[in-house]
Chains A and B, each alone.
Chain A
Amino acid sequence: AQSVTQLGSHVSVSEGALVLLRCNYSSSVPPYLFWYVQYPNQGLQLLLKYTSAATLVKGINGFEAEFKKSETSFHLTKPSAHMSDAAEYFCAVTRFSGGYNKLIFGAGTRLAVHP
């Protein structure tokens, strides 16, 4: 069954530094992958999604992710971190179950940005 694993529950970077959040997927079929962001006491907001149209996906707020089938990875990156990027980030995959689809989330990575 499809699943995702996020490596590192906490990541800390300096403002202006590269952000790299890791996500590996497990899927026996071509996956549909998503990155969501959650700010404190808020719901989840979609950053970007991979739907097989292109391996490099650009999202909102300067984030992008690259799908690498050989590494079963879909890591999220941003060239220069901003203080406002501090949040929790979730990688998710669509799982086909019972005839329909549902989102399965990773455990999340909390990103801290230091001045």
Chain B
Amino acid sequence: KAGVTQTPRYLIKTRGQQVTLSCSPISGHRSVSWYQQTPGQGLQFLFEYFSETQRNKGNFPGRFSGRQFSNSRSEMNVSTLELGDSALYLCASSSAGTTMNTEAFFGQGTRLTVV
């Protein structure tokens, strides 16, 4: 079965622009989480969607937003990009997310560079 697919793999944007990243979870998975990975801050949780509802959110400014569609695909949007938003953005899907030992499957990530 196909894994988690993130598109695009690489993006270069200019400060002040906005960007939309896409994530297609494993078929049947209804939970999608997003993480930001930077050398300085490591892996930080952005938010989680389950059945089109955001049910968990990390400590990021409102410029970071997301949504989930009825087919469980998810998008995250970053508006008014800043240089500090340059990072690897990882998407993870899981079957439920309510069980504490639920395994999360990660995509290859989208490398965003803001110039």
**Is A10 located at the chain interface by the 8 A CB criterion?**
no
Q: Could you mark each residue 1-33 of chain B with 1 if its beta carbon is under 8 Å from any beta carbon of chain A, else 0?
A: 000101000000000000000000000000001
Q: Which residues of B contact A102 (CB under 8 A)?
A: 33, 45, 48, 56
Interchain Cβ contacts within 8 Å, total number = 62
Known: A43-B90, A44-B90, A108-B42. A101 touches B100 (CB 8 A): yes
Across the interface, do A94 and B111 meet the contact criterion of CB distance under 8 Å? no
In the complex, which residue of chain A has the Cβ closest to the Cβ of B3?
A: A43
Main SS of chain B's interface residues?
Answer: strand
CB of B103, distance to nearest CB on chain A (Å): 6
Known: A43-B106, A43-B107, A43-B109. A100 touches B45 (CB 8 A): no
Q: On chain B, which size bracket covers the interface?
A: 20 to 34
Interface residues of B (CB under 8 A from A): 4, 6, 33, 35, 42-43, 45, 48, 50, 55-57, 90, 92, 97-109, 111
**Apart from A41-B108, A49-B103, A101-B100: 19 A-B pairs, beta carbons within 8 A:** A32-B100, A32-B101, A34-B103, A43-B6, A43-B107, A44-B106, A46-B104, A96-B100, A100-B50, A100-B55, A100-B98, A101-B98, A102-B48, A103-B92, A105-B43, A106-B42, A107-B42, A108-B42, A108-B43
